[in-house]
Structure 1
Amino acid sequence: MKKRWTWAEVAARTSRATGVLVVVDDVVYDVSEFVDVHPGGAQVLLDAAGADASAAFHAAHDPALLASFADMAVGRILDDASADTLGEGSMQERLARFQGSAAQGGAAPPKPTLSILDLHERAVSNLPPAVLAYVDLGAEDEESLRENVQAWAAFALRPRVLCDVSRCSTTLRVKTKFIHIETDSPIGIAPFAGAAIVDPERAEGAIAQAATAQNALYVLPHYASVPLEELALVAPRFLQLYAPVCSAQDPSVDFDYLETIIAHVADHISAVQAIVLTVDSPTFGNREKTYRNPAWIAQLQAERGGMPKLRALEAIDGIGKHPGHSPALSWKDIARLRDLCHTHGLGLVLKGILALPDALHAASLGVDGLMISNHGGRQLDAALATASAAFGILPPLRNAFPELPVWVDGGIRRGKDVFRALAMGCTGVLVGRPVLWGLAAEGQLGVQRALKILKEELVTVMKLAGCARLADIGPEHIALGMNKL
């Protein structure tokens, strides 16, 4: 594999007559003889011919698969303008020369989308300012928003070696009295209102289709812009709800409203297995940069015509506009809601747990699952980062309730963060912003790409850590502090 190809040479080889070349990770492959036997059809390779197919390849395949194509490799990419200088100097100098020569010699190939951060870059390029602010910003000074991402890095990984990881499975199975799910990975989609702000045409519909394609858990948002019936055609689905207030004069929880929804879901939407009650929102967080900012409101009106219409519950008779959140929601209501859900054959999961006493009390009341969450840093600023909360909650909770499903969300950007959560004792993770970034980048396929990226990274970490199954991941694989012995 000695030949160095220019992009112009590669671009000229795009048909059966000329030969078909594709580039993956700067390696040039001659796939001419593979075109007609490609499992996905010849057109897939012909569409990618003569260009950088790295992003498309990694979105659909495990990187290890490249080894099986080694006999098709015919060289590497080298830009003509930098051919005589790339071998000299430090890495920084070579990179600077390459960037300079690319600017002079023509546009470089598109940057591949290899990580969640790459998806974020594309979302930043595609979204108007007010929409991007809605997705990316948090409450007040955004302390929790920042810490959610940074806190995962406080936990070092402790890999084991000489373990057979030739076959690595990320399949997650959860079986309780009311919840029976089997997904392709422990990575699910968190409920996030406002997908129609990002993608007015497809909104949550694209996310639901991506979840189905990837066999991922999707927690349907109460404030969706698409009717539940269109989002829950295929399991597994949970439905997130806020506790509604009776009226301005009566702050208690409106159980008639809740029972109407729960009965409809149980009778008409079989894919939904559990109600996820968000318990961290007795009032709205102080979002000074968005909801409380007149300039942002005016700009969103100009960009998207304002906030989208909420249509999740429109098919339910007797349900009008959501009356607002009940500030009186308390533990006595949880017991009543648990019984209501169980009567209709649904589980009850509480979302917004950050304190160990709350987790233990909820479990003792017989709820069917917990979600450790600080609302993506959009409610109480300075609330504990979810990685830190999970680390404090899981060991004693697992001792008392070893089978209780527990998910965590917030700040998960890498497969190693998923691994850390599983090592702490979480059943799975949920991601919100990465999904919306994928939606902004390329619609349904972008959402699928986000889930694939995290899953492929998780597989890599599992193999390097000596874990062939999710059950192999345990607290022995992490340490608090990068230098802890």
Structure 2
Amino acid sequence: MSDAPRIEALPAGLVNLADFEAAAQARVSAKPWGEAAWAYLNGGAADEITLRANRQAWDDLRLLPRVLRRLDGGHCRVRLLGRELQHPLLLAPIAYQKLFHDDGELAVAHAAAAQSAGLILSAQASVEMERVAAVMRSEPQAGPLWFQLYWRDDREFMQALLQRVEAAGYEALVLTVDAPVHGARDRERRAGFKLPEGIRAVNLGGRKQPLELQPGQSALFDGLLPRAAGWAEVEWLRAHSRLPLLLKGVAHEDDARQALQLGVSGLIVSNHGGRTLDSLPPTAALLPRLRAELGPEAMLLVDGGIRRGSDVLKAMALGANAVLLGRPYVHALAAAGALGVARALRLLRDELEIAMALSGCRTLADAGPQLLWRD
């Protein structure tokens, strides 16, 4: 089986990330399950307040540039977990990417590798983790490759999964902690989304057996949540894998401090793209609060609503070490496969470098709080 990406023509007029969305919707909607899959990807929880707020918060931030500075020799390189990266762009874990393109996660891996972007593979990926890792390893300039986990209350299964992740060459683990249950995603439910035949989480085992409930017990609180991760499970992961561990979805500063005390290597400031608990603050508001509480040494990444290179620069000014891109790269995948994702990443990096130059930032170390306009 060849894992080489298929080459597709890029739709005309793609000059920013938003331009991919219409082309993606047209192609996805042509699939038998397309309308439901589109709702699954783009919908948020409940009234989608947080989904909208994530985007609006970046728009509301203003830059205060410096001029007449020497910028020759500038760059947008950063360091994460001991590696120097060409830029601070990573692709967030998104499940079941074969819903949106037949190449799925393989196409995304080819694009990430070609554009030196980091990739966080979802535990619910629709392509085997080893195949994705082989693509990333084939490119010497590829960014970091991390594996995202949801906790499974079966330590034998988890131990085998961790060993497989390490053997495949993944460099870090990312435990999602803000979704012990699905959010009430109205748009998705109205569309009647369910996985079509042939698309599944190929790296996971069979379905979890439900706990036997007694009369009057809650299917959620007595059936599902007893199996959810807690701090003990974070400690277990730290003890049973040699890989650095990051937690994705920490919002409260007390939780952030506890995570770092347990030896977690970093945090991803995320509200799950507005897909779990609605009415959470936007990540652009959570990020500086956590940075102020944790100090300059903590590793903080951020996702949620980032669409422009200027958004990336604002995130760095608020204290991020790097950013994660989510839905837009899946739009690019749906629109034109690997070439579409590569194009989206290149556009975003170009926009970041332009924003840096026009703001007087020779490197991202120059992007501090003083870069942001305060009323």
Partner of 1:87: none
The secondary structure found in structure 2 opposite 1:232 is helix
Distance 2:285 2:125 in 1: 30
CA contact (8 A) 1:188 1:218 kept: yes
The secondary structure found in structure 2 opposite 1:284 is coil
The secondary structure found in structure 2 opposite 1:167 is coil
Matched residue type, 1:450:
A
Distance 1:438 1:330, change over 3 A: same
CA contact (8 A) 1:139 1:381 kept: yes
* 1:58-83 Cα shifts (integer Å, max 9, x gaps): xxxxxxxxxxxxxxxxxxxxxxxxxx
CA contact (8 A) 1:184 1:214 kept: no
Structure 2 gaps, min length 5: 1-8, 30-34, 138-142, 211-223
Matched residue type, 1:155:
L
Selected match of 1:468 from 346, 362, 371: 362
Selected match of 1:242 from 150, 160, 164: 150
Distance 2:37 2:288 in 1: 33
Distance 1:296 1:116, change over 3 A: same
Partner of 2:201: 310
Structure 1 residue 111, shift from structure 2 partner:
5.1
* 1:404-444 Cα shifts (integer Å, max 9, x gaps): 32110000011111011101111100011011010011110
Structure 1 residue 167, shift from structure 2 partner:
3.1
Structure 1 residue 471, shift from structure 2 partner:
1.6
Partner of 1:353: 250
Matched residue type, 1:362:
A
CA contact (8 A) 2:64 2:373 kept: yes
Partner of 1:261: 161
Matched residue type, 1:392:
R
Distance 2:209 2:79 in 1: 37
Partner of 2:177: 279
TM-score by length of 2: 0.86
Aligned length in residues: 341
Structure 1 residue 323, shift from structure 2 partner:
6.1
Aligned-pair identity (%): 39
Distance 1:239 1:467, change over 3 A: same
* 1:30-60 Cα shifts (integer Å, max 9, x gaps): xxxxxxxxxxxxxxxxxxxxxxxxx98xxxx
Partner of 1:419: 313
Structure 1 residue 159, shift from structure 2 partner:
1.1
1:219 aligns with 2:120: yes
* 1:142-186 Cα shifts (integer Å, max 9, x gaps): 111101100112221111112112333112222xxxx33332210
Structure 1 residue 332, shift from structure 2 partner:
2.5
Partner of 2:130: 229
The secondary structure found in structure 2 opposite 1:353 is coil
Structure 1 residue 237, shift from structure 2 partner:
0.6
* 1:421-476 Cα shifts (integer Å, max 9, x gaps): 10111110001101101001111011111111111110011001111112221111
Structure 1 gaps, min length 5: 1-54, 57-109, 246-253, 314-318
CA contact (8 A) 1:394 1:425 kept: yes
Distance 1:307 1:162 in 2: 57
Distance 2:315 2:346 in 1: 18
Distance 1:232 1:181 in 2: 17
CA contact (8 A) 1:189 1:432 kept: yes
Structure showing greater radius of gyration is 1
Selected match of 1:384 from 276, 281, 295: 281
Distance 2:104 2:209 in 1: 23
The secondary structure found in structure 2 opposite 1:430 is strand
1:206 aligns with 2:114: no
* 1:313-357 Cα shifts (integer Å, max 9, x gaps): 4xxxxx44466975542222222222222xxx2011000011222
Partner of 1:448: 342
Matched residue type, 2:184:
N
1:296 aligns with 2:196: no
Matched residue type, 2:48:
E
CA contact (8 A) 2:126 2:201 kept: yes
* 1:378-410 Cα shifts (integer Å, max 9, x gaps): 111111211111121112212xxx333211000
Structure 1 residue 306, shift from structure 2 partner:
5.0
Matched residue type, 2:233:
D
Partner of 1:166: 72
CA contact (8 A) 1:232 1:269 kept: yes
Partner of 1:35: none
Selected match of 1:195 from 93, 97, 101: 97
Distance 1:459 1:143 in 2: 31
CA contact (8 A) 2:96 2:200 kept: no
Structure 1 residue 307, shift from structure 2 partner:
7.4
Distance 2:187 2:165 in 1: 36
- Report the more deviating stretch, 452-461 or 331-340: 331-340
CA contact (8 A) 1:144 1:384 kept: yes
Distance 2:198 2:185 in 1: 15
TM-score by length of 1: 0.67
CA contact (8 A) 2:248 2:268 kept: yes
Distance 1:136 1:264 in 2: 31
Selected match of 1:431 from 312, 319, 325: 325
Matched residue type, 2:257:
L
Larger strand fraction of residues: 1
CA contact (8 A) 2:105 2:125 kept: yes
Structure 1 residue 363, shift from structure 2 partner:
1.3
